[in-house]
A and B are shown apart, each in its own frame.
Chain A
């Protein structure tokens, strides 16, 4: 293990966090809030430490897949630990563990909150809380790759460890240009949303923050009732953009390149849209009459479907009190998640498609034992090792899910709460059902449960393996 290069990259990460944190300082200056001082102090400290760490050049530049995984996981943990400090210092979240939970939830775009009242946050505190969604959505290290000239083989290993999805598809030959293109697309769609929300009559501050929250598919709300008190027009805009951010970003790249053939070939996006549409119709039928007109029912249903499948986690109505059938559909959507290569979390639509296809193949093989059959996706063959790694992913996913569920049950809350809390954190959604439903929060869990849930959020965002590697003794010994 090459510790010096990891130290070097972590120092870069620290400096980038300082860079991000200057934004809440600016917000504090604009609104004249004294809560901005802790941010300024942390910025200074990060810059100093980062600069010291970066001055000492790494002894060797050896960087393999293992270093990539460890660097990415440690970076995310570091970001959460440092990002939490200002909240404790300005008293908005007095308990450090709670603050780490909140920031980890932000960075991993989960949106699970321990705050029961949004009024405790100052404008700059709220800005930082929501801005972490935007940072975490596309990934910090991807941004570093796009900006810093880290040449050599590192970038591939880092990119593979950080990007969501079963296989890393580079858009152009260079990692650096790929990262720049992804961030470009991300930035442009975010700006479009800000403009669209401004048009629906929201103030600039709210438009900006809601856009950050949507872009990262995070789901931190600005108000206690999440989206419920916004106009239908604003809600509709947010719904559309949530769905857009849940789409595989390489699909947008095809559109930019005017390669419509490949865009329409993309099975994942097609199924993603079909699933959203069918679920929305089923829920509309199930809750008909609850919101006055059929149009309103559909509006609520599709907003809720979009927010859950993209793992954003906004709410405009308390779906906790909806009929069981609707709740079950929403829970299944929680598990599926968004498209690979989007900012959303979850198991990913493409993995589900491959799993279903491999089940189909298995049945064919049972009927025709000598048959040879490959799994196709987007008109191409899915290599056997990818299929295998998806199966393994499912196993790890279930194992982590069940063991976390077991630990969280120690707190003694009801089954639905524990089961959906773990699902909501592991899939980076935010709200679950029962006590952690759209109107609830995570404050009541014990310290141990919170640590487990933080681990779940990070594991979910980084696609399980990188975080698990930290717990393997051999990672550190060799």
Chain B
């Protein structure tokens, strides 16, 4: 695909790297010659120096023939303008990075009215990732479908797990839990299991369901869903705002430590339920006084990466809290991972990953009706979301009557916003969206998974 990226900052450069690695034709636009030089020296891309919102610069970068324009400069308004101009002049798909909380409330309005394909908010995405980590502390990865309402959660089974040595059909009969085990990874092999499949210790299991159903499921199988009840956040930026609002919604008591008076005022206006402390979060005394030892989650979200890492290490040494640190710029991932701090959140990777996912889906869906596509378990499994069209062979039949190919499993059906985990009697209607997992590659259409 031909892709134009406006803005070569952290996110832009990460995106460029990943998209060129996947073989796309990438052109980058940035206002600074030196930035463009460094990107074109490192990656096989074309560079254009100029203001990405200018029609002339866009024409030079070949937006007319492009399939997608991604605007990820630091300025929300500029990004939106870039997309608007590209949309009007070339009618290509557009993705904009918009992170101001003021816009975030009207994000779907902006998206619809300006005709954007996707709006990505790195701060919001990072906050969401942190909230998920706190919600399912044992989850290794969480992929979402149907606008975030269906989750595929991967976790490892240990010897003490209730699921250990259990056949899948026994999950409902013995444990009375409702959950769909969709993929099992054992060693290097990946299975799409049926009812007779026996789960063993060490398996990495992916469960599909809505957030609430999954929560219930994990409670039933006695996995530690005990989410943190108190959280301490250092730093009061945009990510903190998004995270705090989500945590408060989850019923977590949030304490925010921020140095800047104006920011504290603003936060306390927006988040009446949170406790805002105006103090220097890097001060040991302050942290101890505000109960670092007793908190169950500690999240370092200041603007300085090194500070975040230090804070998380300190929290880890002093309390049982799950420490989480945000790292934005520093590129020594390996060393940071070795430090064994706990969870590190890289907003640039999260942002890039969700855009790359969109690009993959777009690439795959040219001429097909795939909505979302994820590759999971080292690319051995594909999870796809389809819209059911009128000509689908499934329509009107109970699922038990439809014979699917081996290694295909339907995980969820979204019927007009009502999400169900499919059973034998479930019926699919036109206009529904279904999520399915498969180990066979190249599924382009829902008809491809029907056994001939």
Q: Residues on A close to B: CB < 8 A? A: 65, 151-153, 155-156, 170, 172-177, 383
The answer on a CB contact under 8 Å between A155 and B44 is yes
B:36-80 near A, CB below 8 Å: 40-46
Partner of A156, one of B2, B33, B41: B41
The answer on a CB contact under 8 Å between B25 and A175 is no
* Minimal Cβ-Cβ distance residue in B for A155: B44
Size category of the binding interface on chain B: 10 to 19
Partner of B44, one of A65, A174, A383: A174
Contacts of A175 in B (CB 8 A): 44
* Minimal Cβ-Cβ distance residue in B for A259: B59
Q: Residues on B close to A: CB < 8 A? A: 2, 25-27, 33, 40-46
Can you sample 13 A-B contacts with CB below 8 Å?
A65-B41, A152-B44, A153-B41, A153-B42, A156-B41, A156-B44, A173-B27, A173-B44, A174-B25, A175-B44, A176-B44, A177-B25, A383-B33
* Minimal Cβ-Cβ distance residue in B for A383: B33
Partner of B26, one of A151, A173, A176: A173
Partner of B45, one of A65, A151, A173, A383: A173
A465 to B46, CA, bound (A): 24
The answer on a CB contact under 8 Å between A172 and B46 is yes
Contacts of A156 in B (CB 8 A): 40-41, 44
* Minimal Cβ-Cβ distance residue in B for A262: B60
A240 to B16, CA, bound (A): 43
* Minimal Cβ-Cβ distance residue in B for A153: B42
The answer on a CB contact under 8 Å between A153 and B25 is no
The answer on a CB contact under 8 Å between B44 and A172 is no
A30 to B41, CA, bound (A): 47
The answer on a CB contact under 8 Å between A172 and B25 is yes
Known interface pairs A153-B43, A156-B44; A173-B33 also in contact (CB < 8 Å): no
The answer on a CB contact under 8 Å between B33 and A153 is no
Contacts of B2 in A (CB 8 A): 173
- B33 smallest CB distance to A (angstroms): 6
- B3 smallest CB distance to A (angstroms): 9
Contacts of B45 in A (CB 8 A): 173
* Minimal Cβ-Cβ distance residue in A for B60: A262
A329 to B301, CA, bound (A): 70
Partner of A173, one of B25, B41, B42: B25
Contacts of A177 in B (CB 8 A): 25
- B375 smallest CB distance to A (angstroms): 20
The 3 A-B residue pairs with the shortest CB-CB distance, nearest first, are: A173-B25, A173-B46, A173-B45
The answer on a CB contact under 8 Å between B44 and A153 is yes
Contacts of B43 in A (CB 8 A): 153
* Minimal Cβ-Cβ distance residue in A for B33: A383
Contacts of A173 in B (CB 8 A): 2, 25-27, 44-46
- B220 smallest CB distance to A (angstroms): 48
Contacts of A152 in B (CB 8 A): 44
A176 to B40, CA, bound (A): 14
- 16 new A-B contacts, CB < 8 A, other than A155-B44, A170-B46, A173-B27, are A65-B41, A151-B44, A153-B41, A153-B43, A156-B44, A172-B46, A173-B2, A173-B25, A173-B26, A173-B44, A173-B45, A173-B46, A175-B44, A176-B44, A177-B25, A383-B33
Contacts of A174 in B (CB 8 A): 25, 44
- B141 smallest CB distance to A (angstroms): 27
* Minimal Cβ-Cβ distance residue in A for B43: A153
A172 to B2, CA, bound (A): 10
Contacts of A176 in B (CB 8 A): 44
Contacts of B42 in A (CB 8 A): 153
* Minimal Cβ-Cβ distance residue in A for B21: A151
